[in-house]
């Protein structure tokens, strides 16, 4: 069977309903540093830093021995095809195509966040598109603060000290900048945070009003349904809720193409024996973090 002419793919414009839906639902699409990609793989340079020293009058300058390397971004394709009866397109007042595009945008946004933030396994390129922030933190040691024992009981809500500990892991690192901290949490943390106060009786969570953002310890919180652990990337994860804290500049989202769509009319010959059209939607993205030491996570686990 002949392939569809790729020239027919229509990219979504910045102000389209699909783009707005993706941006609203996906914390990664909204917050991560976007890295344009003209190829499927891009190596993003990473500086090893430069030291400094004091030098005596007439003294010799010491040479820096920092090691520079790269972070690899590999593009993965997120897509779906929907077969639609031509009668449904002609006989209903509902804009079927726009509705399905919006539905896909929601699922894509949740799946992308889950793949980037919370999938527990290492990247395999298919069911696990990227090695998530959580998976990288799990191998770094001491960068995931956990509640509960990991048993089969009820989820154990975090305490004030555990919130503070998770943030302090980032604050103690070389990549901390006061105005560059990003906090992404599963919406379940809303209920966990209400009522948690510091030693002076002040709530650490402040609900935003009149367009101002929600904050914790003075840092803006972004909510993501995808920020919950799962074995593979999914739009409906049901594992442990996560709060991911880190340096926004180190969240890298490679953008190859999309979101975009193509509508294949049922009369084109592809579906000659049925009166059906096909709507295909896709986005090509890559993800990685600049350095694991720029991040920490708070994981809500179950009691014994």
Kindly report, residue by residue over 148-163, the tens digit of the pLDDT. Answer: 998 999 999 999 999 9
Least confident of 67-76, 150-159, 292-301: 67-76
Residues 220/213, Cβ–Cβ less than 8 Å: yes
- Amino acid 113: pLDDT: 97
- Amino acid 197: pLDDT: 82
- Per-residue pLDDT averaged across 204-232, rounded? 87
- Per-residue pLDDT averaged across 59-70, rounded? 77
- Per-residue pLDDT averaged across 262-268, rounded? 72
- Amino acid 49: pLDDT: 61
Residue 13: partners with Cβ closer than 8 Å, 6 or more residues away? 19
Q: How confident is the model at residue 78 (pLDDT cuts 50, 70, 90)?
A: very high
**Which pair of structure tokens corresponds to residue 65?**
């021995």
Q: How confident is the model at residue 274 (pLDDT cuts 50, 70, 90)?
A: confident
- Amino acid 48: pLDDT: 60
| DSSP per-residue codes, 112-155 | HHHHHHTB-SPP-SSSS-S--HHHHHHTTSS-EEE-S-SSSS-B
- The model carries a pTM of 0.85
Q: Higher confidence at residue 89 or residue 139?
A: 139
The answer on pLDDT for 142 being more than 70 is yes
96-117 and 17-25 helices, crossing angle to 10°: 30
The answer on pLDDT for 109 being more than 50 is yes
**Which pair of structure tokens corresponds to residue 127?**
């069911």
Three-class SS state of 187: coil
The answer on pLDDT for 11 being more than 70 is no
Angstrom distance (rounded) from CA 256 to CA 40: 7
Angstrom distance (rounded) from CA 119 to CA 155: 19
The answer on pLDDT for 2 being more than 70 is no
**Which pair of structure tokens corresponds to residue 300?**
């809500």
- Amino acid 92: pLDDT: 65
Angstrom distance (rounded) from CA 254 to CA 179: 23
- Amino acid 4: pLDDT: 42
The CA distances from residue 187 to 112, 173, 210, 224, 226, in Å, are 16, 27, 20, 7, 10
- Amino acid 66: pLDDT: 66
Least confident of 29-43, 66-80, 194-208: 194-208
Q: How confident is the model at residue 237 (pLDDT cuts 50, 70, 90)?
A: very high
């Amino acid at each position: 069977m002949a392939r569809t002419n790729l020239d027919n793919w229509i990219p979504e414009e910045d102000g389209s309903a699909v783009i707005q839906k993706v941006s609203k639902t996906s914390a990664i699409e909204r917050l991560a540093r976007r890295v344009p990609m003209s190829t499927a793989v891009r190596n993003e340079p990473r500086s090893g830093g430069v030291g400094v020293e004091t030098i005596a009058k007439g003294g010799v300058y010491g040479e820096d021995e920092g090691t520079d390397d790269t972070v690899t971004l590999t593009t993965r394709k997120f897509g779906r095809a929907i077969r639609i009866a031509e009668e449904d397109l002609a006989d209903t007042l509902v804009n079927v195509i726009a509705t399905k595009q919006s539905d896909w945008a929601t699922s894509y946004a949740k799946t992308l966040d889950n793949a980037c933030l919370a999938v527990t396994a290492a990247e395999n390129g298919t069911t696990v598109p990227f090695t998530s922030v959580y998976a990288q933190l799990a191998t770094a040691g001491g960068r995931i603060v956990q509640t509960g024992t990991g048993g089969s009981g009820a989820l154990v809500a975090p305490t004030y000290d555990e919130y503070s500990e998770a943030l302090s892991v980032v604050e103690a690192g070389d990549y901390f900048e006061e105005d560059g901290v990003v906090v992404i949490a599963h919406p379940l943390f809303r209920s966990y945070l209400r009522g948690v106060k510091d030693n002076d009786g002040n709530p650490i969570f402040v609900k935003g009003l009149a367009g101002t953002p929600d904050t914790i310890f003075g840092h803006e919180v972004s909510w993501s349904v995808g920020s919950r652990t799962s074995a593979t990337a999914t739009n409906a994860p049901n594992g442990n809720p996560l709060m991911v804290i880190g340096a926004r500049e180190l969240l890298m989202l490679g953008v190859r193409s999309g979101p975009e769509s193509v509508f294949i009319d049922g009369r084109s010959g592809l579906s000659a024996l049925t009166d059906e059209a096909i709507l295909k939607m896709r986005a090509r993205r890559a993800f990685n973090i600049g350095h694991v030491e720029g991040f920490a996570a708070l994981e809500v686990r179950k009691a014994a």
